[in-house]
Chain A
Amino acid sequence: MTEQAYKIQEEDLIRDDITEYLRRHETKDLLRLLTCGSVDDGKSTLIGRLLYDSHMIYEDQLAAVTKDSKVHGTTGDDFDPALLTDGLKAEREQGITIDVAYRYFSTDKRKFIIADCPGHEQYTRNMATGASTCNLAVILIDARHGVITQTKRHSFICSLLGIKHVVVAVNKMDLIDWSEEVYEKIREDYNAFVARLGFSDIHFIPMSALKGDNVVDHSQNMAWYDGPTFLHHLEGVNISTDRNLIDMRFPVQYVLRPHLNFRGFSGTIASGFMRVGDEVMSLPSRRASRLKAIIGPDGEIAEAFAPMAVTVTLEDEIDVSRGNMLVPVKNLPHVGNEFEAMVVWMHETPAKAGRSYLIKQTTNMVPGVLADIRYKVDVNTMRKQAGGEAPAVKTVQRGENSSDFNERSDSTFNELNAATELQLNEIARVHITLHRPIAFDPYEKNRSTGAFIIVDRMTNITVGAGMIVDRVVPKPKSSAPVSKNIVKTASLVSDEDRRKLLNQKGATLWLTGLSGSGKSTIARQLERELTDMGHACYILDGDNIRHGLNRDLGFSMEDRSENIRRIGEVARLFNEAGIIVITAFISPYREDRKQARAIVNGGIVDDGETVQDVKIEKDSSASTISESSERFNGLNEGGARLNDSTNPRETRFVEIFVDTPIEICERRDPKGLYKKARAGEISQFTGITDPYEPPQKPEITLLSADLPVNQAVGLVIEKLRQEGIVG
């Protein structure tokens, strides 16, 4: 066994300066990961290897394993790392791992908690369990077999449970002569299928867990691989931006009343951060007050953030008890007793539509009814199967990839499976109605307030786990408008008439980028230039709109979304009138931009859909879960359904990413906002405390750091010409 250089250094450090060693280890951070693989992919071997190579196995445990190797092992008299991890007697005798096991190891950079998940067909339940607490998933692939159905299933479940980081461990490279070609093929295959799942970070490592190649030490056999080793990669993955630090949510767990003058509310901050003096509201009562004090584990503090466990006191005597949630007055979650969710069923007794269960979400345990099973998702193909009734978001048109889905939904499989039941290890989108309202967020935005478990009322067993997709979607009775009196009137003036008149096509140029990236400068110059060229255009200014049309809106999640919807609708009206609209909002969230794109591009004309319907489509696309399941059906990003309206309109939405590094934006700081944000005077600021999600496929990217404004404007106009928007 070769020694990693830093490990020797660590031993020296322990010997020579234990105080320094302890200081380093006290401040290291924590990464929770899960390992998924089929029975023979070598998962236990990989973990055993990590524990062994990072010195987490003591000699006497090793002696016990070596002894066991002769009885249970698959490697003859050799040391079998898998035996370090296969814990329970029953499963050792069966040779399979039957339950999630947790393993621990650490380096001086990180402590690691491994949720070791069995990969056996029937154990979707276990994988969901393991994934629920993890930041990262290790997907093991046997290099001899490549990407197989189980690989897809595991990836899908990880994506469903909201994991963002994936490491694909291409194992058993020793058995294919360390072939780079095979490895590259696997990479391609995996990338091709995983694109639909929305992971933000995927990394591939060729290895041999049994021999130790590229696990802790670099492989001598694969000189062609110059990436990090497995352990090195795990040590470096950045997970700090995974947390939701935007939306403060504090589910009250316990009320402390040591004496008459103290009434404290204890809990774990689910997301966001809080500061003494913040105005908060208790939900569902909607009583407001201010944070008077925050008491952390080490005493009073001025501010606290997720996932700290704290106790807070309030300025006013309002009624707050366990199950209530404290939230910022200006950023409210949904409050209601109905929602839709993706559910993983975990018990042999099937779920039945119409049956009553207990639902535990945050600190609430509420009786509720599994009102409806909308549709099931086949974990192997990741496609929808018909549920009890027509799916809420019925796919009205077929993209070219959606034929599989249609085959699937007609298959006998579904007919055999009564659609009102959900079997062990099945996944479905369901509609849940609770006996009383709770505060919640979609799981995609908030893994703490969007998650729940389902408990059987008779047996008390946890029978299911769910991830909230969105607020309840009213079942569309028909495709008729809300009011029968709303009829779309056709104009006598056609788009073509307007195009000829104005010598241009209505379009929305949506500039997005960090504060200080140069959006407004480019927008203004663009407006000037286009006008000088004789084109009708207009900048929709965010602040101006908030003074008028949107003055009733705040900055809560719902309000932000409504703000974007209205801007989108206004832009669409302008576009229909033939005007070119330029917008310059930071618009940091992909989902919001996607929504704007859907509105601007599609509109809601001609096919008799109501405004309500569009909202549904938009809302449901607001979560990865439904978004993923939408994508599985081959629907394109950006409201493909809307594009398919009978109106053969061309694309009007032009997303322009003003891509300027944050260092430069901060140096420019035209409004002095970065300075204020850094000083803590602005609590939520994109790029500093809040994330910016760069566009994945913008129509135009402007690297404005190296690009003079007039050249940037030139590029945009060039593109508009290509698209036939301006002549």
Chain B
Amino acid sequence: MSGYNLSHLKQLEAESIHIIREVAAEFEKPVMLYSVGKDSSVMLHLAHKAFAPSKIPFPLMHVDTQWKFQEMYKFRTLMAEKYGVELLVWINPEGKDISDPFKHGSDKHTQVMKTDGLKQALGHYGFDAAFGGARRDEEKSRAKERVYSFRNEFHQWDPKNQRPELWNLYNAKVNKGESIRVFPLSNWTELDIWLYLLREEIPIVPLYFAKERPVVECDGTLIMVDDDRMPLKEGETPMTKKVRFRTLGCYPLTGAVESEAETLEEIVQEMLLTTTSERQGRVIDHDAAASMEEKKKDGYF
């Protein structure tokens, strides 16, 4: 019997593929939310495997804030071509060309461009299921998140009113207007993601790898000068530092870390030897310990 065992990574892969297929089979109009980050890369790759040799039977959607790194936009196009999948881009028309994290702050920018933008897009297309790449190990409030996370017609998440989830029997029943956020990577950890990227040779945005980049220091965080919208203080000139990004978001809200890691192995090595957690690089998590829970109730992923 010993010959018939699957490694943890292959078990996670099988479980995710099962979830992705289940959604494709049971929902009328699913969509995969694509953030261009490494977890999205893994999720897209799994979707490809789930339906090969057919094409992925649902579109990708990127809720764009217009403030992502340039390299992310390039990578986005590249991936849609590589996997032959339809890519939808949604920019909240109310904030389009107006919202500016430098002027309006991270909270308002995120609320308008991401949270509101996402709700609009789901409503606009009438999607009844949306895949997201969130993992339960990312943040404490996510530990109780279901694989199928039910949202009412206002896209709200009620932590006390989630459906019990047993075995691999997911309940896809929704009424009109209601939807399910689906997290096929729920049981993956940060390390699993890296191991899988390595094993499967999945491409990720080059920003994850250390390279000399122009940065400025804002309140102790290194921010990369990605375009000329970056307001520089009087006499401030960007420094060139060898940095990489542990997570990717809007460039003004994403801190870089100084690093020498130029390969996946070196990134994992660095990650395991450092003692600060992944999300610290994201400005939005910091407010209060339970802030993520509040944002989720409101419809943020």
Interface residues of A (CB under 8 A from B): 11, 14-15, 18-19, 21-22, 25-30, 58-61, 64, 67-68, 85, 87-90, 98-104, 106, 110-111, 113, 116, 125-126, 128-129, 132-133, 240-241, 245, 253-254, 256-258, 262, 264, 266-268, 273, 295, 297, 305, 307-309, 311, 322, 346, 358, 360-361, 363, 365, 447-448, 451-453, 455, 460-462, 465, 688-689, 691
Give the contacting residue for A18; candidates B1, B166, B266; CB below 8 A.
Answer: B266
Instruction: Evaluate contact between B1 and A689: CB separation under 8 angstroms.
Output: yes
Least CB distance, A439 to chain B, in whole angstroms: 15
If A88-B144, A98-B160, A451-B169 are given as contacts, then 16 extra A-B residue pairs at C-beta distance below 8 Å, sorted by A number, are A18-B266, A19-B265, A30-B7, A58-B275, A60-B277, A88-B293, A116-B143, A133-B168, A245-B4, A253-B21, A257-B54, A258-B54, A264-B54, A266-B51, A267-B21, A462-B163
Give the contacting residue for A90; candidates B136, B159, B192, B198; CB below 8 A.
Answer: B159
Q: List 8 A-B contacts (CB under 8 A).
A: A30-B8, A61-B277, A102-B143, A133-B167, A240-B2, A240-B4, A307-B11, A455-B173
B88 at the interface (CB under 8 A from A): no
Least CB distance, A311 to chain B, in whole angstroms: 8
Least CB distance, A577 to chain B, in whole angstroms: 42
Instruction: Evaluate contact between A102 and B136: CB separation under 8 angstroms.
Output: yes
Most chain B CB atoms below 10 A, which of A101, A309, A358: A309
Instruction: Evaluate contact between A128 and B191: CB separation under 8 angstroms.
Output: no
Instruction: Evaluate contact between A29 and B8: CB separation under 8 angstroms.
Output: yes
Contacts of A363 in B (CB 8 A): 22, 25
CA distance A628 to B14 in the complex (A): 33
Instruction: Evaluate contact between B265 and A99: CB separation under 8 angstroms.
Output: no
CA distance A113 to B173 in the complex (A): 27
B269 at the interface (CB under 8 A from A): yes
Q: B53-71: which have CB < 8 Å to A?
A: 53-55
Q: B144-194: which have CB < 8 Å to A?
A: 144, 159-160, 162-169, 171, 173-175, 186-187, 189, 191-192
Main secondary structure of the interface of A (DSSP, over half): mixed
Number of B residues contacting the other chain (C-beta, 8 Å)? Answer: 70
Interface residues of B (CB under 8 A from A): 1-2, 4-15, 17-18, 21-22, 24-26, 49-55, 136-137, 140-144, 159-160, 162-169, 171, 173-175, 186-187, 189, 191-192, 195, 198-199, 265-266, 268-269, 272-273, 275-277, 280, 289-290, 293
Given A129-B164, A256-B54, A451-B167, are A103 and B143 neighbors across the interface (CB < 8 Å)? yes
Instruction: Evaluate contact between A297 and B9: CB separation under 8 angstroms.
Output: no
Least CB distance, B143 to chain A, in whole angstroms: 4
Instruction: Evaluate contact between A358 and B173: CB separation under 8 angstroms.
Output: yes
Report, nearest first, the 4 A-B pairs whose CB atoms are least far apart: A58-B277, A460-B173, A30-B8, A309-B17
Contacts of B53 in A (CB 8 A): 256, 258, 262, 264, 295
CA distance A27 to B168 in the complex (A): 24
Instruction: Evaluate contact between A322 and B25: CB separation under 8 angstroms.
Output: yes
Contacts of B268 in A (CB 8 A): 18, 22
Contacts of A27 in B (CB 8 A): 7
Contacts of A268 in B (CB 8 A): 14, 17-18, 168
Instruction: Evaluate contact between A297 and B13: CB separation under 8 angstroms.
Output: yes
Give the contacting residue for B7; candidates A29, A58, A253; CB below 8 A.
Answer: A29
Q: Looking across the interface, which residue of chain B has its beta carbon closest to that of A268?
A: B18
CA distance A22 to B264 in the complex (A): 11
Contacts of B7 in A (CB 8 A): 26-30
Instruction: Evaluate contact between A106 and B189: CB separation under 8 angstroms.
Output: yes
Instruction: Evaluate contact between B50 and A15: CB separation under 8 angstroms.
Output: no
Instruction: Evaluate contact between B191 and A106: CB separation under 8 angstroms.
Output: yes
CA distance A660 to B194 in the complex (A): 46
Instruction: Evaluate contact between A11 and B189: CB separation under 8 angstroms.
Output: no
Q: Looking across the interface, which residue of chain B has its beta carbon closest to that of A133?
A: B167
CA distance A100 to B272 in the complex (A): 28
CA distance A280 to B8 in the complex (A): 29
CA distance A18 to B164 in the complex (A): 40
Give the contacting residue for B265; candidates A22, A59, A264; CB below 8 A.
Answer: A22
Given A309-B13, A688-B1, are A104 and B136 neighbors across the interface (CB < 8 Å)? yes
Least CB distance, B171 to chain A, in whole angstroms: 5
Instruction: Evaluate contact between B17 and A297: CB separation under 8 angstroms.
Output: yes
CA distance A382 to B61 in the complex (A): 51
Give the contacting residue for B4; candidates A253, A262, A305; CB below 8 A.
Answer: A305
Q: Looking across the interface, which residue of chain A has its beta carbon closest to that of B55?
A: A258
Q: Looking across the interface, which residue of chain B has its beta carbon closest to that of A346?
A: B164
Instruction: Evaluate contact between B167 and A295: CB separation under 8 angstroms.
Output: no
Contacts of B266 in A (CB 8 A): 18
Instruction: Evaluate contact between B167 and A132: CB separation under 8 angstroms.
Output: yes
Give the contacting residue for A64; candidates B4, B52, B168, B289; CB below 8 A.
Answer: B289
Q: Looking across the interface, which residue of chain A has its beta carbon closest to that of B278?
A: A58
Q: Looking across the interface, which residue of chain A has its beta carbon closest to that of B143?
A: A101
Instruction: Evaluate contact between B164 and A465: CB separation under 8 angstroms.
Output: yes
Contacts of B174 in A (CB 8 A): 460
Given A15-B269, A88-B159, A266-B50, are A129 and B277 neighbors across the interface (CB < 8 Å)? no
Given A29-B8, A64-B289, A102-B136, are A253 and B18 neighbors across the interface (CB < 8 Å)? yes
Given A104-B189, A245-B1, are A87 and B169 neighbors across the interface (CB < 8 Å)? no
Least CB distance, A301 to chain B, in whole angstroms: 12
Least CB distance, B174 to chain A, in whole angstroms: 6
Contacts of B168 in A (CB 8 A): 133, 268, 448
Least CB distance, B247 to chain A, in whole angstroms: 14
Q: Looking across the interface, which residue of chain B has its beta carbon closest to that of A362?
A: B169
Q: Looking across the interface, which residue of chain B has its beta carbon closest to that of A252?
A: B25
Instruction: Evaluate contact between B160 and A110: CB separation under 8 angstroms.
Output: no
Contacts of A11 in B (CB 8 A): 273
CA distance A25 to B277 in the complex (A): 20
Give the contacting residue for B293; candidates A89, A133, A266, A460; CB below 8 A.
Answer: A89
Contacts of A297 in B (CB 8 A): 10, 13-14, 17, 49
CA distance A59 to B278 in the complex (A): 11
Contacts of A116 in B (CB 8 A): 143
Least CB distance, B12 to chain A, in whole angstroms: 8
Least CB distance, B240 to chain A, in whole angstroms: 27
